[in-house]
Every structure is written in C-alpha cells, then in structure tokens.
C-alpha cells in the first residue's frame, strides 16, 4: 500500500508515493492529521540550512493506527504529538541539560517525515518520550503548534526574564508572535516588534494592541530613536532575533542596554557572516544566547499551558493546506504576504 510524502528536490519540494513503513515490534505507526510549516523548513527549501537533517516537516500530530507487538503504553486510536528528535538523557550534554546537542538527538528522527500521510515513530523515539498522548481538550490544530511553542519556551527559559523587562523582538512571523505572547505572560512590561511585513505587524497589533511595532522599510523612522524615546533611553533589556536576516543581530547590538541579552533564535543560513565591532559586545557586556530546537521538558510545559488554557495560540493559524498542496503551502509561508502560521492536513 502506498502513501504520499513530501521530499526536498533541488531547492524545491515534490510529492512522491512511498510504501507505508513496516513496523518493528517496538515501533508505532501514526496517521498524520496536522503538521506545521516551520521557518527551518523554509530555510531547507529556499535557503542554506546549516543543520544535518534534510527532512521537511517536524511539527506533526495524528492518530495511532498500528502498534508493534511489544508496545504497552499506546494503543490504536490514541491521539498523539510526535517529536522528531529525542536525546539519550545519559551523555555529557544531557547531564548539563543541553539535550539538543546530544548526538542521539541530532541523529534520531521519524520516518519518512512529518509531511507524510503515515509516520513511523521508531523504538528510540517511543521509548525516550518522543511520542506523547494528547489531552482531550487539545485539538489537532493546537497540537501542530506544540513543537514551535516548545522551541520558544526553551529560548525564553535561557533568558531569565524578569517582571518588568523591556523586550525587542526581530521578526513578526509565527515564532516572533509566540515569543511576543509568551514574554507578556512572563511579565514583560514593554515589547517592540520589528519587521518589514506590514500584514504581520498589523496581525500582531490585533493580538496585543499595547505593543510597539516598527517597520524597517519606513525609512523616515529610526529604530534606535524609537527604542530610546518610547521604551527606555538606555535600551531594551532583551533582544530576541526570530528571523534569519543577519542584519537583525547588528541592530540588536545597538538597541540592547549595557549588560543586556541577545537571543539568537532564528535560523541563520549556513556560512552566514557579519562584520561587527566585537568591542561593542565586550564593552557593553552583552550576553549572546543561541537557542536551537527543543526537548521533551519544554514539550511537557507547552502541553500543560495549552491543557490549562493559560495561552491560546490557535488564532495564529491563518492557512490550512491538504498534503497534496504542500508545495503551495511552502510558497505561501515563504512569501508571507498575508499569512502567519500555516499547517498541512492529511484529510
């Protein structure tokens, strides 16, 4: 029996027919219901992705349709979230809570990908917490947001945000808005959202009318003047870069206060380089904190937030495409003209 899945093909994608994966005794087979399109997917297709995985689609959720004979904790018809990378929890990196640096995290994956009608969750992922039952009050649309929310939570957990902090967010895409919503929940007093896309800035204002927004294409305005006059004359406490545009890093150096923190969250293209005054980082004692991906720790935090209705991020979803139209979905996400979060469905 054949199934459809999406693969990379010469800086584009194509939909092919594959055999449905065969299960080993400790594997689980899931029918994909939803899968989000991520910025790293766009970097793989339209840019130069710097990490090892070339698979498209890693934000899936679905329904179990088959379990291996040794599986005890899951059953057919269970609704589940699937995490594609899972660490070992016993290496030097894991002992230091650097789960995403674990070699097993980097090499583990689902088959063939999240953008597939059916997904094989291998024994490693099942046994290490990479398959999670969904609470009844989390629907499949919300489940497709679990992974990106968890990535943002991991990013913010590294920053030691304090109540009253003033924050700049570069990039008003889905993860930029997730950071915006979460930092407000964490106690940020003022937020400035920076982008070149007027649709996305206006979208954000509908969610939170109190944020400041800045369009970098409006040349008559100056970002530094806005920050120093409207937020604080010493700059923001934290800058969060949720874009692959590397000039955002230079701008963040200018507007982040002395002793402040810069979060490098967006995925830079491979071999990105930037000429900067390193002495400025040194003399201002700026902390630069990268954050790549997420672990089961933050996934459980996310599920708890959604289950208890502490946050509601489903309104970020603007488009849903059937799997057969995955190419159109990726193009729509890449252009971002009138789109925020885009998810793929198999039905």
Statement: 159-290 belongs to CATH 3.40.50.720: yes
Q: What is the pLDDT of residue 39?
A: 87
Q: What is the pLDDT of residue 63?
A: 98
Q: What is the pLDDT of residue 219?
A: 63
Q: What is the pLDDT of residue 28?
A: 98
CATH of region 2-150+293-345:
3.90.180.10
| Domains 2-150+293-345 and 159-290 equal at CATH topology level | no
Cβ burial, residue 22 (10 Å; 0-12/13-18/19+): exposed
Sequence ranges of the domains in the chain? 2-150+293-345, 159-290
Spell out the per-residue pLDDT of the chain, length 347, in tens: 899 999 987 777 899 999 999 999 999 999 999 999 998 898 888 877 655 567 899 999 999 999 999 999 999 999 999 999 999 999 999 999 999 999 999 999 999 999 999 999 999 999 999 999 999 999 999 999 999 999 999 999 999 999 999 999 999 999 999 999 999 999 999 999 999 999 999 999 999 999 999 999 886 679 999 999 999 999 999 999 999 999 999 999 999 999 999 999 998 888 888 899 999 999 999 999 999 999 999 999 999 999 999 999 999 999 999 999 999 999 999 999 999 999 999 86
Find all residues with CB under 8 Å of 156, minimum gap 6, and list them.
Answer: 179, 182, 183, 186
Write down the pTM of the prediction.
Answer: 0.95
Q: What is the pLDDT of residue 67?
A: 98
Q: What is the per-residue DSSP string for 227-271? A: IIIII-TT-EEEEEE-SS-THHHHHHHHHEEEEEEEEE-S-PPTT
Interval 276-289: pLDDT, tens? 999 999 999 999 99
Dmax (CA) of the chain: 66
Distance, CA of 90 to CA of 103 (rounded, Å)? 11
Find all residues with CB under 8 Å of 71, minimum gap 6, and list them.
Answer: 25, 26, 27, 28, 126
Q: What is the pLDDT of residue 271?
A: 83
Q: What is the pLDDT of residue 218?
A: 80
């Amino acid at each position: 029996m054949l199934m459809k899945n999406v693969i990379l093909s010469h800086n584009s994608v194509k939909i092919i027919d594959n055999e449905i994966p065969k299960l080993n005794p400790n594997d689980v087979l899931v029918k994909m219901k939803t899968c989000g399109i991520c910025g790293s997917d766009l970097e793989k297709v339209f840019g130069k992705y710097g990490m090892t995985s070339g698979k498209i689609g890693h934000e899936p959720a679905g329904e179990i349709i088959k379990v291996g004979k040794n599986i005890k904790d899951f059953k057919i018809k269970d609704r589940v979230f699937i995490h594609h990378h899972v660490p070992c929890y016993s290496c030097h990196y894991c002992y230091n809570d650097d789960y995403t640096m674990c070699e097993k995290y980097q090499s583990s994956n689902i088959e063939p990908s999240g953008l597939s009608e059916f997904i094989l969750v291998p024994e490693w992922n099942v046994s290490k917490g990479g398959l999670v039952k969904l609470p009844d009050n989390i629907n499949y649309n919300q489940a497709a947001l679990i992974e990106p929310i968890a990535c943002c939570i991991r990013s913010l957990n590294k920053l030691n945000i304090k109540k009253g902090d003033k924050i700049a967010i570069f990039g008003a895409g889905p993860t930029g808005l997730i950071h915006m919503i979460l930092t407000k929940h964490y106690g940020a007093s003022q937020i400035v959202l920076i982008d070149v896309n007027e649709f996305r800035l206006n979208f954000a204002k509908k969610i939170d009318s109190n944020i400041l927004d800045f369009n970098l294409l409006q040349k008559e305005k100056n970002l530094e003047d806005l920050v120093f006059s409207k937020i604080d004359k010493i700059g923001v406490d934290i800058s969060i870069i949720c874009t692959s545009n590397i000039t955002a890093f230079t701008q963040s150096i200018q507007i982040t206060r002395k002793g402040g923190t810069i979060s490098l969250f967006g995925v830079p293209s491979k071999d990105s380089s930037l000429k900067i005054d390193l002495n400025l980082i040194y003399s201002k004692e700026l902390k630069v904190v990268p954050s790549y991906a997420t672990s089961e720790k933050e996934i459980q935090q996310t599920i708890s937030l959604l289950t208890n209705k502490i946050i509601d991020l489903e309104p970020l979803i603007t488009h849903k495409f059937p799997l057969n139209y995955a190419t159109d979905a990726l193009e729509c996400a890449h252009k971002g003209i009138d789109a925020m979060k885009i998810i793929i469905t198999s039905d």
